[in-house]
Structure formats: structure tokens, C-alpha cells
Amino acid sequence: MDRHQLFLVDERIKTFKTWPFSDKEKCNSWNMAEAGFYSMATGSDDADAAKCFLCGKEMDGWEASDDPWAEHASHAPHKCGSPLFQLLEFLSVVKQYMINEVKRVAEVAKDKVDERVKPIIRRCHRKK
């Protein structure tokens, strides 16, 4: 796999084919991928081997109740998880802003269309 693809969370999730924990557990593959990890598993013996795409920290011996973010931040060099965390939080704020802005622009456009349509509808009713 192209290393740059691992910058994308969707690509990291795809690597967790033999992850031992279900989606109901805190330490599920989605939370792992979101915290920067991709699977390093080569078989059932190392099914929980994972590596951070950013700092390269390899970790295994995961527990079902582990929080991938917290484990990453406490074991990785230079607190890798922390800036990643902040970046993702920032991006989620930007995403919400963009969604709100698109809704606002759509609302303004709808009002303008309604204003232009009103006289046409009125004229149509008069002709009947």
C-alpha cells in the first residue's frame, strides 16, 4: 500500500482485517484508525499489532477497554497523539462551519427563487 494513503482514516480502517475487538469495544478498529493507527497484522499471532502512520510507533497487547487515543498519546514519542487530536478537532469544527455555511447559502438561494416564482404563479392563477 502507498504510505501516503495511510494519511486517510478510511484507508487505515481497511487494514484492520483481523482486528480482535468488535465495534462495541472501546478499542475497535474505527477508534484505532481515527487515533492514527493501521494494522501490522500478518496472521493470528500478531492480530493486534498496529502502527501510527505519523510517528511510526508500533504497539500491541491491546485490551478491549483501551482508548486508542489515550494509549497513543501516552506511549508515542513527542506526544504524537496530542497534535493529531487537535488537528482532527480543528477539522471537525471547520467541517461543521462548512455544513452550516452551505445550508445558509442554500436557504438564501431558495428565498430568491421563491421571490421570483411568486409573480409567475400569481399570473398563472389570474389567467384561469
Q: What percent of the chain is helix, strand and coil (3-state, nearest 5)?
A: 60, 5, 35
The answer to the question of residue 80 lying near Zn ion (CB under 5 A) is: yes
Stretch of 6-14, 18-26, 54-62, 104-112 contacting Zn ion, by CB under 5 A: 54-62
Of 39, 52, 59, 62, the one binding Zn ion (CB under 5 A) is 52
Give the whole-angstrom CA distance, residue 46 versus residue 18. 9
Q: Which strand (E) or helix (H) includes residue 127?
A: helix 81-127
User: How far apart are CB 77 and Zn ion at their closest, in Å?
Assistant: 8
46's grid cell: 500478531
Using CB under 5 A, which residues numbered 58 to 77 contact Zn ion? 76
Q: Which strand (E) or helix (H) includes residue 111?
A: helix 81-127
User: How far apart are CB 11 and Zn ion at their closest, in Å?
Assistant: 16
User: How far apart are CB 121 and Zn ion at their closest, in Å?
Assistant: 60
Of 55, 62, 66, 71, the one binding Zn ion (CB under 5 A) is 55
Of 9, 40, 54, 73, the one binding Zn ion (CB under 5 A) is 54
Long-range contacts of 13-16 (CB under 8 A, 24+ apart): 15/39
Compute how many other C-beta atoms are within 10 angstroms of the C-beta atom of residue 69: 19
Residues near Zn ion, by CB under 5 A: 36, 52, 54-55, 57, 76, 80
